[in-house]
Amino acid sequence: MSTPKPTTGAILARLTTDQMSEHDLLEVVEIEERSGLSRWGWAAYYAELQGVNRSLMLVARPANTATPGVAGYIVARETAGELHINNVAVREEYRRRGIGCLLLNRILEEGRRLRATTAFLEVRAEDAVVMSFVL
Ligand SMILES: CC(C)(COP(=O)(O)OP(=O)(O)OC[C@H]1O[C@@H](n2cnc3c(N)ncnc32)[C@H](O)[C@@H]1OP(=O)(O)O)[C@@H](O)C(=O)NCCC(=O)NCCS
């Protein structure tokens, strides 16, 4: 008999969101590659971690599973009061459990703390769509 999947509530209750560190980058790049996002790669994330926007690079970690590590991440930049969310991705096995939503909320909180007044998220489907939020 297979082990039942943890519920959304159980995952979120034991999830932490932390600022990304260079130790997370191998997993972040793996998630990026598996999620079909435009490629940044290790060097671009590493360079971003050295810059002024490093507080806008977050990872979500489930604390209660047999496979700890990075379940998802989000990366944004703040310029002139605008928060630009560049990448957000969640490991396929953790999707539809609220982790994407949690990461988005945490980055919007951080954007507000940095006095951003508008946030933009570009989503590429058939045509690029840009969503903007008033913070
Ligand atoms: C987009 C992504 C980050 C969402 O992560 P997630 O953890 O699954 O998102 P959540 O569980 O917080 O979903 C929140 C809501 O978004 C909507 N949603 C999420 N994935 C969806 C999908 N594939 N289709 C339709 N709606 C979806 C739903 O309304 C969902 O709420 P519900 O599950 O209660 O119906 C994840 O699917 C992913 O990594 N995709 C590949 C990378 C990508 O496209 N990133 C966005 C552009 S940068």
pLDDT digit string, tens, across residues 22-37: 999 999 999 999 998 8
Q: What residues form DSSP beta bridges with 72?
A: 60, 90
* Predicted confidence band of residue 125 (pLDDT cuts 50, 70, 90): low
Residue 135: per-residue pLDDT:
77
**Distance between Cα 122 and ligand 1 center (Å):** 14
The whole model's pTM is what? 0.88
The one-letter code for the residue type at 45 is Y
Q: What distance in angstroms lies between residue 117's CA and the mean position of ligand 1's atoms?
A: 24
Q: Is the CB of 103 under 6 A from ligand 1?
A: no
27-78 pLDDT tens trace: 999 999 999 888 999 999 999 999 999 999 999 998 766 666 999 999 999 9
| pLDDT at residue 26, as a whole number | 97
Distance CA(108)–CA(12), nearest Å, equals 18
Sign of the C-alpha dihedral computed for residues 55, 11, 69 and 44 taken in this order: negative
Contact 55, 7 (CB under 8 A): no
**Is 135 strand, coil or helix?**
coil
Phi/psi-derived region of residue 81, left when phi > 0, alpha when psi is between -120 and 50, beta in every other case? left
The ranges assigned to domains in the chain are: 8-134
Domain 8-134 has CATH 3.40.50.720: no
Task: Please compute Rg for the chain using Cα positions.
Answer: 15
Report pLDDT digits (tens) over 77-90. Answer: 999 999 999 999 99
